[in-house]
Structure 1
Amino acid sequence: MYQFSYAEVAQDTAADARDRERQAFDHSLALLERAEKNGPRSRDAIEAVYITRSLWAILVEDLGSADNGLPDELRGELISIGLWIMSEAELIRAGKSENFRGIIEVTRMIRDGLN
């Protein structure tokens, strides 16, 4: 029978959470890249904007929580990035921007920074 210490379980849980975050970013990135290819008025763009905004809304809410374990400065920076991405996505939805590339590049950097 296996016995795990609390630290091992907590570490696995954190690793699992990072893996889920990475998967969510990968999904968002795939949708954004397809939307960039098919244009801002495509069905792909609608889906990419919706998923990307939803993902960042969840992340910003979590980052704003006092229970979030990241340092305050990093949390603030990530919240600012998230708000920018949501704003850019809204501009795309409204037909005022086609900046998929900017969102893709920033999202990729955030995803690649997950450990």
Structure 2
Amino acid sequence: MSYSEIMEDAPDLGRAREREAFDRALGLLQSAEARGVTAGHERTAAISYVQDLWNLLIADLLNPENGLPKALRADLVAIGMWTMREVGEVLSTPERSLAALIEVNTSIRDGLR
């Protein structure tokens, strides 16, 4: 089933899966942030997961069949694009905090409740 079919047939299940994906991303980010610059591979894995999650979300939000209101989709794409830029900054600056990524993704996750 495609993402849009899941959301059409079982929106509660789709939202629960989205929350789970954000919970996982946040857990990875928080763990890496707690370890600081020594996180190394853990930090890279967390950032990669967030990047993959937002790539999937942005692709779905840009799909003309996405049922969300156009303005909301545009706002979420903008947040996704900011996330991708921040991921790039974090990857190129190992001492950069993950706090902004954690804060924004927590807000999005909480909005799914």
Query: 1:111: Cα distance to partner?
Result: 0.5
Name 1:100's counterpart in structure 2: 98
The aligned runs of 1:1-115 (5 Å cut-off) are 13-40=10-37, 42-95=40-93, 98-115=96-113
For residues 61 and 75 of structure 2, the distance between their equivalents in structure 1, rounded to whole angstroms, comes to 10
TM-score for both structures, normalised by structure 1:
0.85
> Does 1 or 2 have the higher relative contact order (CA < 8 Å, sep 6+)?
2
Residue 11 to residue 62, structure 1, CA distance change in 2 (3 Å): closer
Contact 2:25 2:49 (C-alpha < 8 Å) held by counterparts:
yes
Query: 1:12: Cα distance to partner?
Result: 6.2
Overall identity of the aligned pairs, in %: 37
- When Rg is computed on C-alpha atoms for both structures, the one with the higher figure is 1
Q: Which consecutive residues of structure 1, in runs of 5 or more, have no partner in the other structure?
A: 1-8
TM-score for both structures, normalised by structure 2:
0.86
Contact 2:36 2:95 (C-alpha < 8 Å) held by counterparts:
no
Number of residue pairs matched by the alignment: 107
Greater per-residue helix proportion: 2
Q: Deviations over 1:38-82 (max 9, x none)?
A: 224621110011000000000000000101111000000000001
Q: Which consecutive residues of structure 2, in runs of 5 or more, have no partner in the other structure?
A: 1-5
List structure 1 runs of 4+ shifted beyond 6 angstroms.
Answer: 9-12
RMSD: 1.9
